[in-house]
Amino acid sequence: MRGFQDKVWDRLYRSHTLKNVPNAYIFSGPAGSGKESLAIQFSKILNCQNPNKFGCDNCSSCLRILQLQHENLKLIFPLPAPANNSSSPGNLIDSKNIELVTKLVAEKSKDSFFKIKVPGSNRILINSIRDLRKSIYLKSDNLGRRIILIFDAHLLSMGQGEAANALLKLLEEPPKRTSFILVTDQINLVLSTITSRCQSISFPRLDDEFIFEWFSSKISNIDEVNFFVGLSDGNIHMAKKLILFQKQELVDLINDLIKVLLSKNSSMWRKFVQTYSKLSKDDLGMFLFHLTLLKIWFQSTNRLVINISHHLHKTQLKSGMERFANLYKNVDYLGIVSEVEELKNALTQNLFMPLSLTTFLLKIQRKINIK
Ligand SMILES: [Zn+2]
């Protein structure tokens, strides 16, 4: 499947046809913009036996790349550190995790938008880079180009940053016919000594047209499609989460959240603070999902006020946005969006959630200008 990130693809394809593929790329841009997917497809055309713009998807090389099983393709992603008393000393992955990792990679091969997330993994292990070092300078009889894909590359610098330093050494003496593709949503967290050795390719969010087609292939009701596209905000991961809900559930969820934000009722606040403190511990992904819905609602309302169209304006959420815009005339929309982002950061910094949530409500009310 193609039809997303066409401009980025044209640029990559051109470097391939000009035989001008660098030793290292860094693909960066917002979450869910198709960076990993495109990196896999690029590896495919670099090794396809019947060169054409998108890879033939038929030769043995294409098939093996699509299965993520090609000897020219190496995947590196965050893994949990093996326990010291590991049953399989010297191995990269604890034996109990091998099955899971194999399953996740298989999932990724079926759906290149699938995000590999091994529970308990918060960094790229130094051993992953050491393993790579052992094999990377060996001669290979394979034609084509060896590709090392490093997903969540910002997690190279976690801890003491040993993985980042080890990778840097490889980038300094790159093997022949080899390209590294580092992929990250947070390029600001990647060491500048690494980024400076990579050709930077920045990805915009996905086009609404692409997300629209994605939903249209799964849902027939056009109102619902517009609704889901509007809330996806060009993020395929968000789209996949949204489709697990009924439209009405999401409408109610958003309306309830807005109601709390506009309320002065102390018992409503208390309940909000309790519920979301708990959710932040029990299901972080769901917590962030709710915040994202809130952010998109405010962004869309802002667009309504300044007359820029948005998919959500074609949905039943519009009337609520209009009511809001009529009631509150001096809203600092950008300020609200950055407060939502700040609350997300509070989570990563392990701040005391009940306090962060109460402060959040107070700040939002000030930015809405509730008298
Ligand atoms: Zn092929």
- 305 Cβ partners below 8 Å, 6+ apart? 325, 331, 333
**pLDDT tens-digit readout, 230-281:** 999 999 999 999 999 999 999 999 999 999 999 999 999 999 999 999 999 9
Higher-pLDDT residue of 74, 143? 74
Q: Which two tokens stand for residue 186?
A: 């947070």
Tell how far CA 139 is from the center of its chain.
Answer: 35
What's the CA-to-centroid distance between 57 and ligand 1, angstroms?
5
What's the CA-to-centroid distance between 142 and ligand 1, angstroms?
14
Q: Edge-to-edge, what's the strand order for the sheet holding 73-76? A: 73-76, 146-150, 178-184, 24-28, 199-202
Taking the C-alpha atoms of residue 250 and residue 264, their distance in angstroms, rounded to an integer, is 23
CATH code of domain 6-202: 3.40.50.300
Nearest 10 degrees: CA dihedral of 202, 115, 123, 24? -40
Higher-pLDDT residue of 49, 86? 49
On the question of pLDDT at 184 being above 60, the answer is yes
**pLDDT tens-digit readout, 77-106:** 999 987 765 555 567 787 788 899 999 999
Burial class (CB in 10 A: 0-12, 13-18, 19+), 313: middle
On the question of pLDDT at 206 being above 50, the answer is yes
What's the CA-to-centroid distance between 347 and ligand 1, angstroms?
44
Taking the C-alpha atoms of residue 129 and residue 37, their distance in angstroms, rounded to an integer, is 22
Q: Write out the H or E segment, with its range, that includes residue 25.
A: strand 24-28
What's the CA-to-centroid distance between 216 and ligand 1, angstroms?
29
Q: What is residue 370's predicted lDDT score, i.e. its pLDDT? A: 80
What's the CA-to-centroid distance between 65 and ligand 1, angstroms?
9
On the question of pLDDT at 1 being above 60, the answer is no
What's the CA-to-centroid distance between 236 and ligand 1, angstroms?
26
- 52 Cβ partners below 8 Å, 6+ apart? 45
What sections of 86-156 are H helices per DSSP? 95-110, 126-136
Taking the C-alpha atoms of residue 151 and residue 132, their distance in angstroms, rounded to an integer, is 14
Would residue 12 be called left, alpha or beta, if left means φ above 0 and alpha means ψ between -120 and 50 degrees? alpha
On the question of pLDDT at 211 being above 80, the answer is yes
What's the CA-to-centroid distance between 170 and ligand 1, angstroms?
29
Higher-pLDDT residue of 232, 142? 232
Q: What is residue 253's predicted lDDT score, i.e. its pLDDT? A: 97
Average pLDDT, the chain: 93
What's the CA-to-centroid distance between 151 and ligand 1, angstroms?
24
Q: Which two tokens stand for residue 219?
A: 């849902």
Taking the C-alpha atoms of residue 103 and residue 116, their distance in angstroms, rounded to an integer, is 10
**pLDDT tens-digit readout, 150-167:** 999 999 998 888 999 999
Query: Across the chain, which distance is largest between two alpha carbons, in Å?
Result: 73
Task: Kindly list the protein residues that place their beta carbon closer than 5 angstroms to ligand 1, a single-atom ion.
Answer: 48, 56, 59, 62
What's the CA-to-centroid distance between 71 and ligand 1, angstroms?
15
On the question of pLDDT at 31 being above 50, the answer is yes
What's the CA-to-centroid distance between 12 and ligand 1, angstroms?
17
What's the CA-to-centroid distance between 61 and ligand 1, angstroms?
6
What's the CA-to-centroid distance between 60 and ligand 1, angstroms?
7
What's the CA-to-centroid distance between 46 and ligand 1, angstroms?
9
Q: What is residue 276's predicted lDDT score, i.e. its pLDDT? A: 96
Compute the average pLDDT of residues 44-66. 93
What's the CA-to-centroid distance between 64 and ligand 1, angstroms?
9
Report the amino acid identity of residue 292.
T
What's the CA-to-centroid distance between 51 and ligand 1, angstroms?
7
Number of H helices, E strands in the chain: 16, 5
Task: State the number of CA atoms in the 13 A half-sphere of 139 facing the CB.
Answer: 1
What's the CA-to-centroid distance between 358 and ligand 1, angstroms?
56
How many other β-carbons are positioned within 10 Å of the β-carbon of residue 173? 8
Q: What is the pTM of this model?
A: 0.90
Q: Which two tokens stand for residue 12?
A: 């990559």
Phi, psi dihedrals of residue 179, rounded to the nearest 5°: -130, 135
What's the CA-to-centroid distance between 328 and ligand 1, angstroms?
57
Phi, psi dihedrals of residue 178, rounded to the nearest 5°: -135, 140
Q: What is residue 81's predicted lDDT score, i.e. its pLDDT? A: 85
What's the CA-to-centroid distance between 135 and ligand 1, angstroms?
25
Taking the C-alpha atoms of residue 114 and residue 124, their distance in angstroms, rounded to an integer, is 19
What's the CA-to-centroid distance between 305 and ligand 1, angstroms?
50
Taking the C-alpha atoms of residue 14 and residue 17, their distance in angstroms, rounded to an integer, is 5
Question: Are 77 and 151 spatial neighbours (Cβ–Cβ below 8 Å)?
Answer: yes
What's the CA-to-centroid distance between 74 and ligand 1, angstroms?
18
What's the CA-to-centroid distance between 6 and ligand 1, angstroms?
20
Taking the C-alpha atoms of residue 173 and residue 32, their distance in angstroms, rounded to an integer, is 32
Beta strands in 54-132 (DSSP E): 73-76
**pLDDT tens-digit readout, 323-348:** 999 999 999 999 999 999 999 888 87
The secondary structure of residue 152, as a DSSP letter, is T
Compute the average pLDDT of residues 276-300. 95
Q: What is residue 84's predicted lDDT score, i.e. its pLDDT? A: 65
